[in-house]
Amino acid sequence: MERVNRLIISRTGSRVTMIPEVANHLISSGGKRLRPMLTLATAALAGYRGTGHINLAAAVEFMHTATLLHDDVVDSSTMRRGKIAARMKWGNEASVLVGDYLLGQAFKMMVEVGSLPALGILSSAAAVIAEGEVLQLSAAKNTETNEDEYLAVIRGKTAELFAAACEVGAVIAERSKAEQAACRSYGMNLGIAFQLVDDALDYGGTSSALGKNVGDDFREGKVTLPVVLSFRRGDEEERAFWRRTLERADVQEGDLERAHQIMRRHRALEDTIERARHYGAIARDALALFPKSQMKTALLRAVDFCIARVS
């Protein structure tokens, strides 16, 4: 991971000084580096002995960072990772273009590895991720979104990059198709679980008190799984509440508490976490065909940690 971090820092460099400024604002702001760690871990699980996984891991983090920069523009976000969003400091223009630059650099790093299958997986992921974001754009603020539709969105938006990050680890190790597919499935289901836990955390998880940094999704009118469940299980008065606050963005004092109350009434947060556990279980089973090893244990624990963030 040390080497991945060094590569990330060196590849944000450019004679155009605005590029490292904008990129490092986000990259050095304490992201969890979860995705590149998955690439390193699956490569190790698959017994890879080369150095290509370093480049691929850094490329995965660059793809993620580019997505965040573009997301902030798309969502008109003001904050990111507890810091002011790059677009507020350098403008939307810089966020769009530095995102494009990082995407170009990501592909350059992949090309250096020389694995066409890995390139195919990650370029395909780039298209699927963008497609998922457009889908979210069309579905945004629609309280009638159902669980399947919501799952399609987060598969594209979040889980696809987790899946690709894990798949390429097995692919550069030239493991069998079944093992490549196992790593992909592990990543995909971990990614879904991760996003669902995030959705629950955004409403403070299952603790009855609302903590700080809670309610961003609510204020942005995002229809996430806790809302999908609450809306479906709710009565007419509650549905009217969700339509007013999320679709019409008419949010008043006390509305976040009211949202939380409705969610508790319908056990929407508990069941969101229950769903996350389901995908976590699939992720764990996906790795069953790998023999016992330290790395396998670590990857299995990662699923638990992911869910333990909330429960």
| Closest distance of CB 60 from its own copies, Å | 14
| Closest distance of CB 74 from its own copies, Å | 4
3-class DSSP state of 140: coil
Instruction: Quote the distance between the C-alpha of residue 64 and its chain's center.
Output: 8
Instruction: Report the residue number, 107 or 266, with the smaller CB distance to its own copies.
Output: 107
Cα–Cα distance for residue pair 48/41, rounded to 1 Å? 10
Q: What are phi and psi of 169, to 5 degrees?
A: -60, -45
| Closest distance of CB 177 from its own copies, Å | 18
Binding mask 4-23 for its own copies (x = CB under 8 A): ----------x-xxxx----
Q: Determine if 138 is a binding residue for its own copies (CB under 8 A).
A: yes
Q: Determine if 303 is a binding residue for its own copies (CB under 8 A).
A: no
| Residues 59-118 close enough to bind its own copies by CB under 8 A | 70, 73-74, 92-94, 96-98, 100-101, 103-105, 107-108, 110-112, 114, 116
Cα–Cα distance for residue pair 55/172, rounded to 1 Å? 11
Q: Determine if 127 is a binding residue for its own copies (CB under 8 A).
A: yes
Cα–Cα distance for residue pair 61/36, rounded to 1 Å? 6
Cα–Cα distance for residue pair 236/9, rounded to 1 Å? 53
Q: Determine if 51 is a binding residue for its own copies (CB under 8 A).
A: no
Q: What are phi and psi of 221, to 5 degrees?
A: 70, 25
Q: Determine if 131 is a binding residue for its own copies (CB under 8 A).
A: yes
Q: What are phi and psi of 149, to 5 degrees?
A: -65, -40
Q: What's 16's DSSP letter?
A: S
Q: Out of 5, 9, 83, 133, which residue is the one contacting its own copies (CB under 8 A)?
A: 133
Which tokens sit at 180?
Answer: 């490549």
Q: Determine if 134 is a binding residue for its own copies (CB under 8 A).
A: yes
- How many angstroms separate the Cα of 270 from the Cα of each of 102, 110, 274, 303, 311? 38, 40, 6, 18, 9
Q: Determine if 181 is a binding residue for its own copies (CB under 8 A).
A: no
Binding residues for its own copies (CB under 8 A): 14, 16-19, 70, 73-74, 92-94, 96-98, 100-101, 103-105, 107-108, 110-112, 114, 116, 119-120, 123-131, 133-135, 137-138
